[in-house]
Amino acid sequence: MTLQEAVDRLEMKPLSALAKLSAEVSGGYVSDLLSDVMANAKAGDIWVTLQTHQNIVAVASLKEIAGIVLIGGREPDKGTLAKAEEEKIPLLLSGLPAFEVVGKLYQMGISGKR
């Protein structure tokens, strides 16, 4: 499944790196602790979080994450948006809570198995 398909099905709003929406999503991870994401996320994951600080872009870049879903309608800081564009990391805004986002992605066939 591509990020674009996830965007369409979950009615998310892509905020950055639109050219990267064709990327394949190989798995999923949900966590708000950056140290935990550093340890456990995999390249190609779609990462679901409520964190909006620009550190999420650094972590996503380091771990080669396919895209970040920001939940609960939490808009990223200006700095985060700029960095995400620069680093070509798609930020996807969802109004849903994390549990709903993960549930729907899971139903679409995205696995969180490590």
Partner 1 sequence: MEIRIAEDLKADRMTIEIIDDGSGMDEEMMQRALDPFFTTKTVRRVGLGLPLLAEACRMSNGQLCLQSCPGKGTTVRATFQNSHIDRKPLGNMGDTLFTLIVGHPEVDLFYEHRKDGAFFSLDTGEIKADLGDIPLNTPEIASALRAGILSGLQELGV
Encoded one letter per residue, x for contact with partner 1 by CB under 8 A and - for no contact, window 15-54 reads -------------------xx--x--------------xx
* CA distance linking residue 30 with residue 68, whole number of Å: 10
User: Which residue type occupies 83?
Assistant: K
Encoded one letter per residue, x for contact with partner 1 by CB under 8 A and - for no contact, window 69-108 reads --------------x---x---------------------
For the bound state, the minimum distance from the C-beta of residue 84 to partner 1, rounded and expressed in Å, comes to 12
